[in-house]
Structures are given as structure tokens and as C-alpha cells.
Amino acid sequence: MLSPQRTYPLLARNQVRVSLRQMKSQQGWFMRIVIGVMMVYSAFILLTLGLFFDRFSAELWPEQTPVEIVNQSLLAAFISLFFIRFLFQKTPRMKIVPYLHLPIRRGSLVAFFQAASLLSIHNFYPLLFFVPFWWRYVVAEGSMMGHLMWIGAIMLLILASHFANLLLRGVLRQRAGLFYIWMSLFIATAFVDEAAGIGLQQRLSSFLFSRILSGEATGLLLLIAFTAFAITASTISLARSLRGSDGGQSAQARVRSFEVPEEWGLLGQLVRIELLLMWRNRRPRHYLFVSLLFSTLYLVFMLSSGQALGGVAFSALLGLFASGGFALNYGQLMFGWDSTHYQAYVSRNVAFPSLVRAKVIVLQLSCLGLFVMSLPLFIWLRPDLVALHFAFLFYNAGITTVLVMELATRNRQRVDIGRSGGFFNYEGFSARHWLWFIPTALPPVLFLQVMSSSPRLGLTILATVGLLGVLFTGLWTRYFANGLKSRKHAMLEGFAGRAG
């Protein structure tokens, strides 16, 4: 067995090489420039906000000091950060698995990768706001001990959020159903708190951090205890997950097959295969469940916020996701899901137009299904947005699905849906997939903003454009089929893992 003194430098050098190779192989120079500009811009915004927070807060909360505003918002901010981590942050487990056959102690591997996981943008970017804010505003109040305790509490919250996320994802890897229960309870609690106007979260946050700033150690000790628990529990969970020999294999859903009428022909069979693939495999099934969750419980919370989250842009994004959430998420990897058996489609001479048409039908039906499911919530909570909900049904079915399919037909990265590697694994996604949301969501948002003086006309035009997109589905189908045909060999090489 290698000693820790030799193990850690070796692992560090190897991880640097892996990161550089992934960056070069997955991103072109244009995407690297775009990502770099966005990171610099985000850093600039956070630094500016931290240094000049009083100039922004004076417009919105003129009766409160910057420290009071931040103190009452800290718990909400870190809960939001936790959810962002949950969506984007990966657990170290899949990085450890390739090293298990080497003469390295598992304890050393766990310790190294747990520590290395801290090198995340989610841990550094919050400091770009909090450190300047602390230096500019917090240091001006209270005692020196209170200043140090306050910034220490911020560091502890970042650590606790990081390791609690690793712990939750480790638990959900074996018990994914807990996520839906936990998410439902959280949204229901937040809805009751918001609807009743209690503001429990803000009161608790303000009480905790104002006491810490005054030099009282009780709140800080609670944060230390929670952080220590999160670190210990996530480390134990990671170590235990390495004892299995399944290599990350996820069980398939136990669901019986179903048949479609023979008169539906090949198109009906392809739709049937797509639905079975979605339900029987853990990772695509998660996209379905999360879309259903967003269109029900989370939508209740967002709609009940009333004018607090008002504005044309927010309403447009709400309409986009209420009926198009599944297409936006699942549809981006529409052909990547087939990567393990895509060669069979090609070798059996399945017509590309039929293959594309089947997938478009699934996406368009998902828009209709989510629309029907969420319509009663719009009628109950925001009847003024019902017309917008109808308009985005047509827009999502006719335009959003087309934009998503344009990205999906260019996928060349293999996706192993039988080895998910954990809850919400983002294998197959690249920066291009995340950035594609901008040209997909921005046009309807900007259009409705421009038409804010004539909202009915704007929604009518939006729905008409979407309806035309649906009517020209055959044209889009032929376009995507020709693209698949021209990229057939490149996609086969990529799905086989041979593309650079």
C-alpha cells in the first residue's frame, strides 16, 4: 500500500491532468471563451454587490441597514445555494471508482476526494460577495470577536451546505424516493409559511446571525456541530458506497411492457420504445418525476408568491417551464438516451424521419400532459395567467421542442443510462447544453417584455407562432432527419466512446 505522503501528490497531479483533458476534449475554444466571460462577469457582479450593497438596498429596503437585510436573508440564500449544488454538484464517488484496484487505502482515497471536492465554484463564488460585504459593513458594527464569529459562521454555512449535499446525494443514490418526499414536504412548508405571512425563515435567520454578530457563541456552536455532522456523515456514506461491487449499476423499474395497436405501425412502436426506456431506467425517469413535481407542488409555491415574484419576465419563464419543463430537460439528450443501442437503429435501417417523428410526438405530448396537470393550479392561484399558460402550450409544442431537438440531434457523447452513477448524474451534458437555455428562453421573454403594453396581442402572436410550428412538424422532421443522416457516422463514433 502506498503511504499517504506519496498517495496525495500522485492523486493531485492525476486529477489536474484529468481536468485539463476533459476541458480540451469537451469544449471548443468558443465555448471556453463564453464560459470564461460569464465567470468573470459573475465575479464582477458579486464583488460590486458586496462592496456597494447599501446603494442597492436603499432603493428596496430604505428602513433597514445592509447588515440587517443580509442577516435575515442568509438562511434563505444558503438553502437556495444548496438546491443549486444539488442540481450541479457531483459526488466524489465516480472519481474514486477507477482507483479501487490500485494499492491505495480506501480511507486515503475517501479523504483526498472529500477534500478535493471543496475546490468548487459553489464554495468560492459566495465569498466574492461575503468577504467584501463583511469588510465594508459588518466590521463597522459590534466587537472584533463578533466580526470574526460572523464571517466564521458564513464559512461554516458554506461547508455545511457542501457536505450536506454530498450526504443527501449519497443517500438518494440508494433511496431516490426520499427525494420526492423530502422535496414535497419542503415545498409544502414553504408554501404555508409564505401564504400565512409568518416569515419564520427570515425571523430565525435574523435572530441567529444578529446574536452571532453580537458575540454570543451559542449559534456558532450549533453551526459547528451541524457542519461536523455533515462532514462525518458524508464521509462515512461515501466509504460505505464503495463497498458494493455493482460499479454504479442502477436497478430498473419493475414495470410490465405494453403493446400498441398494429395499425400504428413503426411510428407507434418507436413511441412505445421511447416511453419504456424512459420509465424503466433510473436517470431518464428522474427527469419525468422532477417535471411532474415542478408542474404541481413547486408551481403552487411559485404561483402563490403573487406579485412578490411578478413581472413579465417571471411570468414568461413560468409559462415556459409549466408545460415545457420535460421537453427542456429530457429532450436535450433525446438521442443520447439511445446511445447504447443507436447502432441497432442504424443497422436495421430504421428510417430517420420515423425516428425523429416519434421523439417529437413524445415531447409534444409531454407539453400537453403538463399543461393539463398544471391548468387547475393556474385557475386557482393566478387566473390572470391562464391565457399565458395556453399561449405557452402552443409555443412549447411548436417552437421549444424544435429548438431542443436541434441540440439533441447534434449529441455525440455516450450516455449510459444503465449506470447512472448517482442521483441527477449529468453524464452527456456539456456547457453547450446549459447555455442552450439562453436562446431557447430569451426570445419569448424579450418578446412579451416588448409587448407588455399590449399583452393580449403579444400572447396571441406567441400562440400563433407556436401553432404554425406544430403545423410544420413534418418540415422540421425532414430537416432533423437529414441532419441525422449526414452526422450518422460521427454520432456512432461518439456513442461508442471513440470520438475526440
pLDDT of amino acid 307 = 47
Contacts (Cβ under 8 Å, ≥6 apart) of 330: 278, 284, 287, 288, 291, 363, 366
Instruction: In whole angstroms, give the CA distance from residue 275 to residue 364.
Output: 13
Instruction: In whole angstroms, give the CA distance from residue 362 to residue 95.
Output: 34
pLDDT of amino acid 500 = 43
pLDDT of amino acid 377 = 86
DSSP assigned state of 142: S
Instruction: In whole angstroms, give the CA distance from residue 323 to residue 319.
Output: 7
Where in the chain are the domains? 4-241, 265-495
pLDDT of amino acid 416 = 67
- Phi-psi category of residue 429: left, alpha or beta, with phi > 0 → left and psi -120 to 50 → alpha: beta
Q: Which amino acid belongs to residue 456?
A: R
Contact 125, 40 (CB under 8 A): no
pLDDT of amino acid 317 = 84
Residues of the chain with confidence (pLDDT) below 50: 245-253, 307-309, 420-422, 499-500
pLDDT of amino acid 94 = 77
